Each structure stands twice: as C-alpha cells, then as structure tokens.
Chain A
Amino acid sequence: MEKIIEINQLTWQYTDTDHPALEDVSLEIEENMFIGVCGPNESGKTTLVSCIKGLIPHNFIGSYKGEVRLFGKNIRDLNAQELAKYVGFVFADPEAQFTSMSVEEELAFGMENIGLGSDEIKERIQWVADITGLESLLDKSPYDLSGGQKQRVAIASVLAMQPRVIILDEPTSMLDPIGKDSIFNICARMKEELHMTIIMVEHTLDRLARLSDRLILVHQGKIARYAEPERFFENVGELLELGLNPPASIVFLDQLKQAGLYDGPMTTSVEETIEIAQSICARKEAIK
C-alpha cells in the first residue's frame, strides 16, 4: 500500500519549554489504515498528530527539525486550504471547535473555505448527515445537543471536506459510553466504506485496541512501540509499568500465556478470550 505520511527525524520544541516535545521521531503510515495512538499524558501524542496535520509548525511557535511529508509533499509548503483537503482534524472538546450557529452552517463552513460551490455543499451535507446520523439535527444550534451528538457534528464537519486522512485527538474523552460507541462506529465506517486513513489518539485502550490496524505508543517524546495489536500487547507488563490500562481481556490472556495455559496469538476480542478460557476450563474438567 502507498505510504501517505512520512515523518523523517522530526524534533519539535515549544518555545516556552526546556525539553523537546518530540525527539527524533520517524514514522511511516500507509493508506486506509486505522492507527491508534496511546501513551501517558504529556508524552507527546497531541504534538505528534499536530505535526501530521501541519498545525505544527504553521500555528505554533517553536523550533522544528526534520520533515513531515504528506502524499509526497513537504508539509511546510502547504497552506491551510490545501492541508484541509488532505487531512481533517477533530479536537477533544467538541464545543471548543464550533464556529457557527447551526449544525448545517457548521457543516458548510469548512466546505466554503476550501472553495466548493453551494450545490456541491448541499449534496455533501446530505451525504455526511446520513453517515453520521445528523439528518434531524441540521437546524439546531450545535450547543443544544448532547455530548455525543456534538462530537458527531464535529466529525461530520471535517468529513464533509472529504479529506484522505482524519485525525481525532481524544474525541471521546468527554463522552459517556453511548457517545463513545457512536464515535468509534462512525470511524470504523469511514475506514471501511470511504477508505479513509484514521489516526485516533485515545486514553482508554479497550475500544481503540479492537479497531486499530496498528497502535503507536508514544512515551517521552519518542515512539516506543508501533505494531499490530497482536504484537503490541505481547509485553503487557511494560504497558502497565508505563501507567497504561490495557483491556482486562488482554491482561487475562497474558496471564494465561504466562501460566503456560495458552500459546496462541494475542487477540483483542473479549468474545474470543472468553472462548479460549471456556475451552481451558472444559479441558480441565474433562481431565478430572
């Protein structure tokens, strides 16, 4: 598959700090991947994705070494409009990113910016409202919605610009479980049906681990791990040490492995883990 994002030896330091937020980071991301980004707070997750979106260096002050290439082009040579066509970005706090007075305007705003005509905007609003389940809310003020609906508006407004990549920075941290589920479902659909590349930063690993093709662990400004979930969770102890909270089913599977009761591949699915445990129990019962 085509490499669409290439980061080469990137070091970035915000002006008001004494450590670089990212240090000598190199990374390649291929098209149509779901990439999960995790790590402790202040480890550099948001900085990393801000570099991929071009918010850094365009909208922040600091020292920048190395380069980020998007679809083969150096990110420093792209302006806000061009970047918006390649990469969409969704923030943690949906309310903080609203710029308009109704859901419909909110969806139209980005498309107006990238120079689409009114007819095309109308079509795309229908399309994106359908995907994100917002048809009945178009006329409402974005502030009158529930948390999950607000975040869906935020995603839809970015999706409407039809970027090739969508970055979501802790999009569910302010949502309740239903809200969280709805966001993850939409992201899964965007990857499967629209063949987009999704990069999602999250604290809670359970849902993320289950959807991601690859997981990135950022620690102290560096990429500590970059692998498929099965390999990513091979060393659960180290993740626990870093203060992460791997899903209980993975911890359990790891314990089974350590005890020599299971030697198959790591799975992120709870159902599979339950089946594995049940068959172990059944086997033991049969022996007795």
Chain B
Amino acid sequence: MEGAQNKKMMKTLLALIPVESPLYSFHPVSRLLLFVITGFIPLFINMPELNFMFAVLVLLLFIYSKVALSSLKMYLPVIICAGIFTFLTFIFFPGKDPNYQVIGHIFGLPLYDQPIMNACIAYSKILALLLSSIFYFSTNRERDILAALRTLKMPFVASYVLGLSLRSAGMFLEDLHTVREAEQARGLDYAALKFTDKVKLYSMYIIPLLSLALRRSDEISNALYVKGYSMKNSGKRADYILTKYHFSAADVVSCVILVLLLFLIIYFKYRYQWFDANHSLLQTLLK
C-alpha cells in the first residue's frame, strides 16, 4: 500500500481505474450517457464494419482517458469466448433459407453466407457493448455510478441497495479468492482437475461463501441501524455527495451531441433504412 501515491491505476470493487483522467472533469451523468450511447448505438446498426469502428472509437477513448490498455488483457478471454460462441452457434445452427448460398465447408458442414454475415453482425454488436461496458467500469468509481443514478432521480433506497450489492459483489470475489487459497493449502491442485470436477468444486464454494454472507448481512443490518437508518422513515434527506458534482458547459454540450447522434441514427435507420446489412461492405465481399 505504501507506493499507492505514484501508481497510475487504482482498484475499485469492479475494475482498475486511472488515478487521473481528463474524463473525470465530466459529470457522472455525462459519462453514463457516453456509455449508454457508445454501447447501444451499435444495436441499431447492422453493418459490422461500422460497429467495429465504434469499437475502435471506444479504444481511442481508453487512450484519451488514460486507462492502461494492458488492463484489457483481463477481459480478453470473455471477448474471445463471446466470439467463438457466436460464430459456432451460427455455423452449426444456421437455420434454413432457400436464399442461403454455400461459400465453403468446415468439419464437413456447409458454410452459408447469410449466417456468417449474421454472426459478424451479432459479434460486432456484442464487441462494441462489451468494450464500452469495460470502458465505463474502468473510468467510473462506484460512487460516480451511484451519483449518476441519483442525479437522474433514482429513489435513494434503490440506489442504496444497488450500492450495497456492488459492495457485496466485491467482498464476494475477495472471499472466493481466500477460499480458493485455503483449498490449495489443503492440497487441491486446481490445474490438475478435470472439467467436471471443477464444476463440482464451484458448488462446494457455496457453503463458506454463504456462511460468510449470512454473518455479514447481520452485521450490516446492525450497522445501518446504529447509523440511524431505517427503511420506514427515510423520507426527505440531504444528498451530500451530489453537492460535490456540478454540470459544466462541456457537460451540456457533450450530452446534447450524444443525444442528437442517437436520434439521428435512429431516424436514418427507420426512415431511410441506412445501416442495414445490405449496405455493408462485408456483405458484398461474402457474396
């Protein structure tokens, strides 16, 4: 802990975030909006190359926000797995359509053009959403997330429960780590286990994790009580943390641009069928 001052990244319950970042000058609501829009616009777009461009845009945002790109390594398995699953599903379960054209063979199975295109579309959307989620959690502390939700008038109790669950998720992961170490200390060689045994093992973790969680939930209920909190009379109360955040001109401008972008894309998609798969370069290539 001694060297914490000169570190570039710091830990939150969910991810690593940069200690300093130009993004921090934006209000949490702007940052939430950025996440929603970079993550969700691709859902309206059926042109993989455009979605990949969104993914690249998010990567540029990573660099702008001073998030160490090496921290992405941790998520690589998820990103790759999602890809493999998507493609395998579309290759092995292509569905039937007289318009499908065979473009090759894999494991003796015919490879159709349209399902491959669909896989590319689906994966490009997943990738964009994954990257923007990782980006969001790599640039927002838990308190920023809660502040954004409270500014948007989410009821205090709801945001509080969300906060407590975020916190318990973090503690849960820490406990899991210690429990696994304790198993190793008793001769369990995790690397040598068969897959089925690994699955069985996870069911064993439930006992210690649940017992820790039960003891903790008692403690937290007492802790809330002694701090004068009760669900019944939590009517009007000051929200001190929100007084620490202010909307700047830059926030207003960026929010307006982001919302406008979203509306434009939706408008052109439904009015003029822009962003359809048949406008895609990849589609042309596959044909």
> Is there a contact between chains A and B in the complex with CB atoms less than 8 Å apart?
yes
Instruction: Compute how far the CA of A59 lies from the CA of B239 in the bound complex, rounded to whole angstroms.
Output: 26
Chain A residues with Cβ under 8 A from B233's Cβ?
79, 81
Please report which residues of chain B, range 194-240, place their CB below 8 angstroms from some CB of chain A when the two chains form the complex: 216, 219-230, 233-234, 236-240
Does chain B have a CB within 8 A of A104? yes
**Of B170, B221, B222, B240, the contact of A118 (CB 8 Å cutoff):** B240
| A94 shortest CB reach to chain B, Å | 10
A99-B164 contact given A111-B240, A144-B11, CB 8 Å threshold: yes
Does chain A have a CB within 8 A of B141? yes
| B125 shortest CB reach to chain A, Å | 31
Chain B residues with Cβ under 8 A from A113's Cβ?
227-229, 234, 237
**Of A85, A91, A121, A122, the contact of B222 (CB 8 Å cutoff):** A91
Chain B residues with Cβ under 8 A from A118's Cβ?
238-240, 243
| B50 shortest CB reach to chain A, Å | 36
- Interface residue tally on A, bucketed by range: 35 or more
Instruction: Compute how far the CA of A58 lies from the CA of B240 in the bound complex, rounded to whole angstroms.
Output: 28
Show 13 A/B contacts (Cβ-Cβ < 8 Å), sorted by A.
Answer: A81-B233, A89-B226, A91-B222, A96-B220, A98-B223, A99-B163, A99-B224, A105-B241, A108-B240, A112-B237, A113-B229, A115-B238, A121-B240
Chain A residues in contact with chain B, CB under 8 A?
A: 53, 55, 58-59, 79-81, 83-85, 88-89, 91, 93, 96-102, 104-105, 108-118, 121-122, 141, 143-144, 146, 157-158, 161
Closest 3 CB pairs of A and B: A84-B228, A97-B223, A96-B219
A81-B230, A96-B216, A98-B223 known, 7 other contacts, Cβ within 8 Å: A89-B226, A96-B220, A97-B220, A97-B226, A101-B13, A113-B227, A122-B243
Chain B residues in contact with chain A, CB under 8 A?
A: 1, 4, 10-13, 141-143, 146, 163-164, 166-167, 170, 216, 219-230, 233-234, 236-241, 243-244
